[in-house]
Structure 1
Amino acid sequence: MARPRTPLLDRERIARTALQLVAEQGEFSVPQIARALGVQTGSVYHHVDGRAGVVELIRELVCERITDEALTLEPWDRALEEWARSYRAAFAAYPRAIPLLMTTPVRAPRVLAHYERAVALLLAAGFGSAQVMPLLTALENLILGSALDLAAPEAMWEPSPQTPLLARALSTVGTGRADAAFELGLAAFLAYARTLRSGAKS
């Protein structure tokens, strides 16, 4: 029998199948991946280092959507702003992957290299070493929370007669609540980061 021109199994197909499962049900298992690809479970393990290896493949696939060039922009705050927007868009495409990826350690070399560039950007901008990870973590919290918010219903509150102030506030928001909240949070983050940077350089 002639060998198929396209390999039946490879890391990219495993990653895309796992990400599809996560998008549909918020989780995956290696046997589910194998069934979806029409192979034995053991065949999947020949290509990945167990479940943790699949998680890292998913991480790489999602993070491919983040624009690396954003971190090369100048000045530093413009770079962070564009990076944040790209990061949010990447994860907003797969909101159900966020809990999975944010509760497991990052090991994927390509993703670690991305963080290395972000750290280098902040250090070159004049931030102290002890400030870098709190800044990046705070920005990630804002980005990922906003990415989840984009997947939520536009109307997240159902006011009652006992909450007239809430009802009035909601009536003034209009559409785009999640985007408006993200812009507010990002502006506040960057303003505080500029203050920190000034203190670090003085």
Structure 2
Amino acid sequence: MGRPRTPLLDRERITTTALELVDSQGEFSVPQIARRLGVQTGSVYHHVDGRDGIVELLRERVAEAIDATTLDLRPWDRALAAWARSYRAAFAAHPRAIPMLMTSPVRAPRVLAQYERAVDLLLDAGFPLPDVMPVLTALENVVLGSALDLAAPETMWEIADTAATPRLAEALAAVAGHRADRAFDIALEGFLGDARRRLADA
């Protein structure tokens, strides 16, 4: 018999299956991937470097949706704002992957290359070297927190008795537009304002 036209197993299919599992249940296991693909668990390990290797494939897959060309914009704050919005959209599409990806070291070369561009942007703008990674980490905190918020219900506060919390009820009723989007705009502008002040004081 000849070989099948479509390989039973490759890194792309493993990544797709792992991401489907994460999107549906927030986690994956190698045996689950093998069962879905109709192969033995050991066969999966022939294509990836264990579970950590699959996590990095997931990171690369999610990060593919981030528009790294935004980091070529100028001035630097315009570039960071555009990158942050693209970054947020990419992770908002897979919010259950965030805890897994943000609690494991970044090793994927293509993702590291994007961070390299972000570091270049900040250094070229004049940020002191010791401030660069704290600034980028702070931006990630804003972005990823907001990406999770996008997956939350629009109404996060359910008030049974408005008489008990009348000011909260008024504040909720006064929100115009999408709460998570407005909150992200406020947080991003606050971050950028602080970063501008730090750069001016450098």
TM-score by length of 2: 0.97
Q: Which residue pairs with 1:54 in the alignment? A: 54
Which amino acid in 2 is paired with 1:157? W
Deviations 1:133-173 (A, max 9, x none): 11001100000000000000000001333111111100000
**Contact 1:154–1:175 under 8 Å retained in 2:** no
Aligned mates of 1:14, 1:44 — CA distance in 2: 8
Note the C-alpha offset of 1:55: 0.3
Matched residue SS, 1:9: coil
- Structure 1 match to 2:187: 185
1:3-49 CA-partner distances (Å, limit 9, x unpaired): 11111111111111100000000000000000111111001000111
SS in structure 2 of the partner of residue 5 of structure 1:
coil
Match in the other structure for 1:12 = 12
Alignment TM-score, normalising by the size of structure 1: 0.97
| Aligned twin of 2:98 | 98
Q: How many residues align?
A: 200
Report the secondary structure of 1:194's partner residue: helix
Q: Residue 200 of structure 2 aligns with which residue? A: 198
Per the alignment, residue 130 of structure 1 pairs with 130
C-alpha distance in 2, partners of 1:140/1:163? 33
Identity %: 70
- Please list every run of 5 or more consecutive structure 1 residues that lacks an aligned counterpart in the other structure: none
Aligned-residue offset at 1:109: 0.7
Aligned residue type for 2:182: A
